[in-house]
């Protein structure tokens, strides 16, 4: 996949030094999003984290939300690697192993980007078109790949024909999203990280293979 050229908000390509500065603003924004709501974060505070002037932030981004959208797009770039984990045989134990690898990768994806992904989903659920598009672009390839596996299992007589492949795959990704998003809260119910991975993996494997 070709890397997207780094540009300022006016569309001019950035040099290496400017790219580093831009990334520092993104890192600071991500750090603050992990701590509290975007409504409580100001450009001044982000600039303070970077130890630079607030005016420089506007050289790269129009607003805090603009920076957050870029973070969401960058997080989405991690999904193809997770989708690739689905490729290969799902026969026997290999199916459960692939499901566990996918569940682990998805949880780690959320652990790295929790504040950003939570904001993305909340904004998308409110109808924000930009965040809706980013979420769709991120999750649709994973849903389609799982749906294809379910369809194949149906053709082999392993999975009930009553199951709609796309809807079932969407439900699987929703489970990964919700449980990964609230992994910390689930510990209050004596459900640890390994429990989350094993449970998601078993649900995915059973739905995909019928076993």
Averaged pLDDT in 10-residue chunks for the chain of 211 residues: 53 80 95 94 96 94 96 94 94 95 97 95 96 96 97 96 97 96 92 95 97 89
Contact 73, 132 (CB under 8 A): no
- φ, ψ dihedrals at 149, nearest 5°: -65, -40
Contact 22, 71 (CB under 8 A): no
Question: Given this model, what pLDDT does residue 11 score?
Answer: 65
Helix 193-209 vs helix 165-181: crossing angle, to nearest 10: 180
Q: Looking up tokens 């005016």, which residue turns up?
A: 55
Question: Given this model, what pLDDT does residue 3 score?
Answer: 41
Question: Given this model, what pLDDT does residue 38 score?
Answer: 94
CB atoms within 10 A of CB 166: 14
Query: Rounded to an integer, what distance in angstroms lies between the CA atom of residue 54 and that of residue 173?
Result: 39
Question: Given this model, what pLDDT does residue 15 score?
Answer: 80
pTM of the full predicted structure?
0.87
- Can you list the positions of beta strands (E) in the chain? none
Question: Given this model, what pLDDT does residue 16 score?
Answer: 85
Beta-bridge mates of residue 7: 13
Coil, strand or helix: which one is 127? coil
Q: Looking up tokens 């194949």, which residue turns up?
A: 152
Helices (H), the chain: 16-33, 43-50, 54-60, 64-76, 79-84, 93-125, 129-155, 165-181, 183-186, 193-209
**Distances from the Cα of 36 to the Cα of 29, 61, 67, angstroms:** 11, 20, 15
Question: Given this model, what pLDDT does residue 146 score?
Answer: 97
Question: Given this model, what pLDDT does residue 2 score?
Answer: 36
């Amino acid at each position: 996949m070709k890397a997207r050229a780094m540009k300022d908000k006016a569309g001019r390509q950035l040099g290496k030094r400017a790219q580093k500065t831009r990334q520092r603003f993104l890192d600071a924004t991500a750090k603050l999003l992990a701590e509290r709501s975007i409504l409580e974060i100001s450009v001044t505070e982000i600039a303070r984290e970077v130890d630079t002037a607030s005016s420089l932030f506007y050289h790269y981004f129009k607003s805090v939300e603009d920076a957050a959208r870029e973070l969401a797009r960058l997080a989405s770039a991690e999904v193809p690697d997770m989708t690739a984990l689905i490729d290969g045989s799902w026969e026997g134990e290999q199916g459960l192993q692939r499901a566990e690898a996918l569940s682990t990768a998805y949880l780690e994806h959320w652990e790295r980007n929790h504040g950003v992904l939570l904001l993305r989903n909340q904004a998308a659920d409110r109808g924000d078109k930009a965040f809706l598009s980013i979420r769709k672009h991120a999750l649709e390839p994973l849903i389609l790949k799982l749906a294809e596996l379910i369809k194949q299992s149906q053709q082999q007589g392993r999975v009930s024909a009553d199951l709609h492949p796309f809807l079932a795959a969407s439900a699987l990704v929703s489970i990964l999203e919700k449980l990964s998003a609230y992994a910390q809260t689930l510990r209050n119910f004596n459900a640890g990280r390994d429990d989350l991975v094993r449970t998601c993996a078993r649900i995915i494997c059973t739905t995909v293979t019928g076993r």
